[in-house]
């Protein structure tokens, strides 16, 4: 795969995600989700929330940063991209991966629902391959249904098996979810336990592939091939021996339990029913998210209405005051007008009277005194009349002006009152609608009030939706899975051909012609239609996906990426368009078999940046953290450390384990959310503490420490307590000697089902237990001599080893070793402070 990647770069055909992963393409912008409220608000916007979610046991909603990670995976990785998630121990990494799986499956179901007949999603290539006495046809899958393949990968076998085993487990879903199951018969056979459905499978190495092939496909009673035969209307009857020893014919158990449709007509009828149901629940979820969006918009509208109403009140008050003055002005103008009219009328009358008393023509001709007196009087009367007329006109103009002013003010007041009434109605409507949507969503709105909460309150908040509202989104995923099964039923014929061909060699062997080999990715996509999630170790990627080209698959989910060498993930990243990479650089680092001096010299020789690419300080997680546009910064004692989206709500460890881990690795940013629980082991052995043991050493093994651990196990056995405990140590020699001592003592005989298996699963170096947890952890330190300071310094120089050791313990931790010597070994000083 490394040669393949190098060739892609040389040919300028390297996929975008590989460029991002290797740092050839940097993020255009980065958002710090611990320090930028804007970025958190955008990440948690209802518009970014998937319509579906995983119906987990208890149906509890995700907390803020878990939901942010899911939203950003759904929104930022629509086409391609890398999203890094920093997952300290016990913070719900698998929980958020489940929601991503639910989102991807539901998105594909939405595309499935667009087909009237699922068989039309498959194209007959006309190519055939002979198998026995028959031919199997090669079908291509519609490109719209490709790109939803989910590959879970890790360097750690246990990590990928854990994810693939947890997803289908009955305990992974609510007790009332998936009551009819999803190929439960086959899933139960694959996992050898009670499951709800065939959502995931463990592949990878040859043993896993062979086991999967047999139980998933070829087994007469659990194989999907028998199911698909029945769905196509060509059932196979099996001959079995009855209770009386006779031979009888019966249907395969997978057919009896899963109840497939018999033939195409019934399959298409079920398909239409599943489509209708899916569309109905999806519409309800869309309305729910719209309500959440309304719960953001409505307070803004109410605030805007409030501001406008306040402005209106001020404007109305000013207008009313102005109107009062205008009314007074009208009264004054009306009074003045009345007075001027009366005066004008009087003056006109006086002038008319003078006209009647005008002297005769003789007086006018000779301008007698009488005439001259009349002229003076007439002139005065004329002027008075003219002035009175002017005053009347002025009064009329002023009166009409103030009347117009009053009318305008009245109209303005009326308009503002109408607007005020409308705004009050809008405000009431918005308030009623806001009360409705808040009652519906019932979670914590991501608004200014949210950002004023304490760090703990912000981290524990469930954004937008409470349990009841979240159930609507649960139902979308359940409907999507039912739709998927109905799609498989109605497309049983092409699926039976494609899967039959894939099960021969998983596409690792050529079909003998390039045009036939070109269909192998479609065969894989057909498998992912049935089993949405497939897991593998990185070591098996190149072989199992030998004929898968770059970006053929949709999604890569990497777990425990902090344990993976940077180069290990190259093949998986190359083949997938999107990658969600989850891990923690402060847990166990990658195992490097070469000496550090040699790897540093190699980096120098080839001009490689050792700080970026040289393990153990570099890992798949550190490359992903640098490639992701979403990140956070932890300020540590040795400088700042950039990580991906941080998960900070811890639900695994009680005190003092939680506080120890939080202090030595996470700058006390994690918040405790573990529910109190009784510990039977603590009732026998007492509370968490450091059992101070001084003794001699054989290499790093201390016999006295081993005897102390043995005493503790005997005490547990005597009390009848189940030994849900890990015995861990920094050193391989201590692991070996502790196993030998327990084997010789026989304390496990007749106490555990398989003593030999218990010794190897429950006793080991700290490196062997990452990803696991138990009620109690006994940390046996070793290196008890004063001159073994180098060994102790190695163990305590970085927080990784102690962080993993203490965070495996759910309820109680016991440390066995020389306290005086170990308390000065780096982070063990913090351990000593916090343990009695």
Apex 779 CA angle, 778 and 782, nearest 5: 130
Predicted pLDDT of residue 162? 80
**pLDDT at res. 529:** 98
How far apart are the C-alpha atoms of 13 and 8, rounded to whole Å? 5
Superfamily, domain 296-438: Helix Hairpins (1.10.287.620)
pLDDT tier, 158 (very low <50, low <70, confident <90, very high otherwise) = confident
Confidence label for 636 from pLDDT (cuts 50, 70 and 90): low
Q: What is the pLDDT of residues 265-284, one digit of tens each?
A: 999 999 999 999 999 999 99
Cis peptide before 712 (omega within 30 of 0): no
CA geometry: angle 53, 208, 495, nearest 5 deg: 60
DSSP 46: G
CA-CA-CA-CA torsion sign (735, 741, 742, 744): positive
Q: Tell me: pLDDT of 340 over 80.
A: yes
pTM of the model: 0.89
Closest by alpha carbon to 558, among 543, 545, 544, 571? 571
The segment with the largest mean pLDDT, out of 132-136, 343-347, 493-497, is: 493-497
Q: Tokens standing for 553?
A: 């698959």
| Rounded-to-integer distance, Cα 434 and Cα 444, Å | 14
Instruction: Calculate the average pLDDT of the chain.
Output: 94
Does position 499 have pLDDT exceeding 90, yes or no?
A: yes
- pLDDT, residue 638, reads 60
Mean pLDDT of 360-375: 83
Alpha-carbon span 264 to 368, nearest angstrom: 134
- Span 63-74, pLDDT tens digits: 999 999 999 999
* Mean pLDDT for the stretch of residues 740-768: 96
Q: Does the pLDDT at position 460 exceed 70?
A: yes
Q: 377 falls in which pLDDT band (50, 70, 90)?
A: confident
DSSP 8-state assignment for residue 169: B
pLDDT at residue 637 in the model: 63
List pLDDT tens digits, range 240-269. 877 777 788 889 999 999 999 999 999 999
pLDDT interval class at 660 (50, 70, 90): very high
For residues 709-732, give the mean pLDDT: 97
* Averaged pLDDT, 298-327: 93
| The pLDDT value given to residue 688 | 98
pLDDT value at 131 more than 90: no
Three-state secondary-structure class, residue 310: helix
In whole angstroms, give the CA distance from residue 590 to residue 557. Answer: 18
Q: Which own/partner contact pairs does 19-23 have at CB distance under 8 Å and 24+ positions apart?
A: 20/81, 20/82, 20/627, 21/82, 21/569, 21/570, 21/573, 21/579, 21/623, 21/624, 21/627, 22/570, 22/623, 23/612, 23/623, 23/626, 23/627
What pLDDT is attached to residue 244? Answer: 74
Fold for 657-834, please state it: Rossmann fold (3.40.50)
Domain boundaries, the chain: 296-438, 657-834
**Beta-strand pair 533-537/150-154:** parallel
Cα torsion angle, 611, 617, 618, 623, sign: negative
pLDDT at 112 over 80: yes
Q: At what angle do helices 467-490 and 492-505 cross, to 10 degrees?
A: 90
Q: Is the pLDDT of residue 526 over 80?
A: yes
What confidence tens digit (pLDDT) does each residue in 393-425 have?
999 999 899 999 989 999 999 999 999 999 999
Read off the pLDDT of each residue in 732-758 and give the average, rounded to a whole number: 96
Q: How many CB atoms lie within 10 A of CB 566?
A: 21
């Amino acid at each position: 795969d490394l040669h393949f990647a190098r060739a892609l770069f040389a040919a300028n055909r390297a996929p975008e995600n590989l460029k991002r992963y290797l740092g050839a393409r940097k993020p255009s912008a980065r958002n710090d989700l611990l320090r930028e409220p804007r970025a958190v608000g955008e990440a948690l916007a209802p518009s970014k929330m998937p319509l579906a979610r995983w119906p987990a046991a208890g149906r509890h909603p995700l907390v803020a940063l878990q939901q942010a990670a899911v939203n950003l995976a759904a929104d930022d990785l629509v086409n391609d991209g890398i999203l890094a998630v920093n997952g300290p121990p016990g913070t719900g990494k698998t929980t958020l991966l489940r929601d991503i799986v639910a989102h991807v499956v539901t998105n594909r179901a939405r595309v499935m629902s667009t087909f009237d007949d699922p068989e039309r999603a498959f194209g007959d290539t006309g190519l055939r391959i002979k198998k026995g006495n028959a031919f199997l046809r090669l079908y291509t899958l519609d490109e719209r249904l490709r790109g939803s393949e989910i590959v879970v990968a890790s360097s750690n076998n246990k990590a990928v098996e854990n994810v693939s085993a947890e997803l289908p487990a009955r305990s992974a879903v609510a007790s009332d979810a998936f009551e009819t199951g999803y190929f439960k018969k086959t899933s139960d056979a694959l996992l050898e336990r009670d499951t709800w459905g065939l959502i995931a499978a463990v592949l990878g190495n040859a043993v896993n592939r062979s086991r999967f092939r047999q139980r998933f496909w070829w087994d007469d009673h659990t194989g999907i091939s028998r199911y698909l035969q029945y769905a196509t209307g060509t059932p196979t009857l099996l001959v079995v021996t009855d209770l009386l020893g006779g031979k009888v014919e019966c249907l395969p158990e997978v057919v009896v339990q899963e109840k497939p449709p018999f033939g195409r007509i019934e399959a298409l009828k079920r398909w239409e029913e599943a489509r209708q149901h899916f569309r109905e629940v999806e519409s309800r979820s869309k309305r729910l998210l719209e309500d959440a969006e309304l719960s953001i918009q409505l307070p803004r509208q109410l605030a805007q209405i409030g501001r406008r109403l306040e402005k209106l009140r001020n404007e109305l008050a000013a207008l009313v005051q102005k109107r009062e003055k205008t009314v007074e002005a009208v009264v004054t103008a009306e009074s003045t007008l009345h007075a001027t009219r009366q005066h004008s009328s009087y003056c006109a009358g006086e002038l008319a009277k003078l006209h009647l008393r005008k002297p005769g023509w003789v007086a006018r001709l000779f301008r007698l005194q009488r005439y001259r007196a009349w002229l003076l009087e007439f002139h005065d009367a004329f002027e008075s009349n003219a002035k009175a007329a002017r005053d009347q006109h002025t009064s009329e103009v002023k009166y009409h002006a103030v009347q117009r002013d009053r009318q305008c003010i009245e109209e303005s007041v009326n308009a503002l009152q109408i607007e005020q009434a409308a705004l009050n109605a809008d405000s009431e409507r918005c308030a009623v609608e806001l009360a409705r949507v808040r009652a519906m969503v019932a979670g914590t709105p991501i608004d200014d009030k949210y950002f004023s909460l304490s760090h703990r309150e912000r981290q524990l908040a469930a954004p937008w939706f409470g349990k009841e509202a979240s159930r609507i989104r649960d139902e979308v995923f359940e409907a999507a899975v039912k739709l998927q099964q109905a799609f498989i039923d109605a497309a049983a014929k092409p699926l039976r051909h494609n899967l039959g061909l894939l099960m021969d060699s998983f596409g690792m062997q050529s079909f003998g012609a390039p045009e036939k080999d070109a269909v192998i990715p479609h065969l894989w996509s057909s498998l992912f239609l049935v089993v949405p999630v497939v897991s593998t170790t990185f070591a098996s990627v190149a072989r199992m996906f030998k004929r898968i080209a770059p970006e053929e698959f949709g999604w890569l989910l990497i777990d425990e990426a902090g344990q993976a060498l940077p180069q290990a993930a190259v093949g998986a990243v190359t083949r997938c368009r999107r990658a969600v990479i989850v891990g923690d650089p402060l847990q166990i680092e990658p195992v490097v078999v070469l000496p550090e001096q040699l790897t540093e010299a190699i980096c120098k020789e080839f001009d490689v940046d050792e700080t970026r690419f040289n393990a153990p300080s570099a890992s798949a997680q550190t490359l992903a953290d640098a490639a992701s546009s979403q990140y956070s910064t932890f300020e540590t004692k040795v400088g700042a450390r950039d990580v991906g989206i941080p998960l900070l709500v811890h639900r695994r460890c009680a005190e003092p384990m939680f506080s120890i881990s939080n202090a030595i690795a996470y700058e006390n940013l994690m918040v405790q959310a573990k529910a109190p629980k009784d510990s039977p082991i603590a009732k026998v052995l007492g509370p968490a503490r450091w059992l101070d043991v001084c003794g001699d050493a054989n290499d790093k093994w201390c016999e006295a420490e081993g005897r102390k651990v043995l005493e503790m196990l005997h005490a547990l056995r005597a009390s009848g307590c189940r030994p849900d405990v890990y015995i861990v140590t920094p050193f391989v020699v201590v692991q070996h000697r502790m196993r030998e001592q327990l084997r010789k003592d026989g304390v496990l005989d007749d106490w555990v089902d398989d003593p030999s298996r218990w010794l190897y699963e429950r006793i080991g170096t700290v490196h062997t237990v990452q990803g696991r947890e138990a009620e109690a952890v006994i940390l046996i330190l070793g290196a008890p001599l004063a001159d073994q300071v180098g060994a102790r310094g190695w163990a305590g120089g970085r927080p990784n080893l102690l962080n993993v050791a203490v965070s495996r313990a759910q309820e109680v931790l016991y440390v066995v070793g020389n306290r005086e010597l170990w308390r000065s070994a780096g982070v063990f000083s913090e351990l000593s402070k916090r343990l009695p």
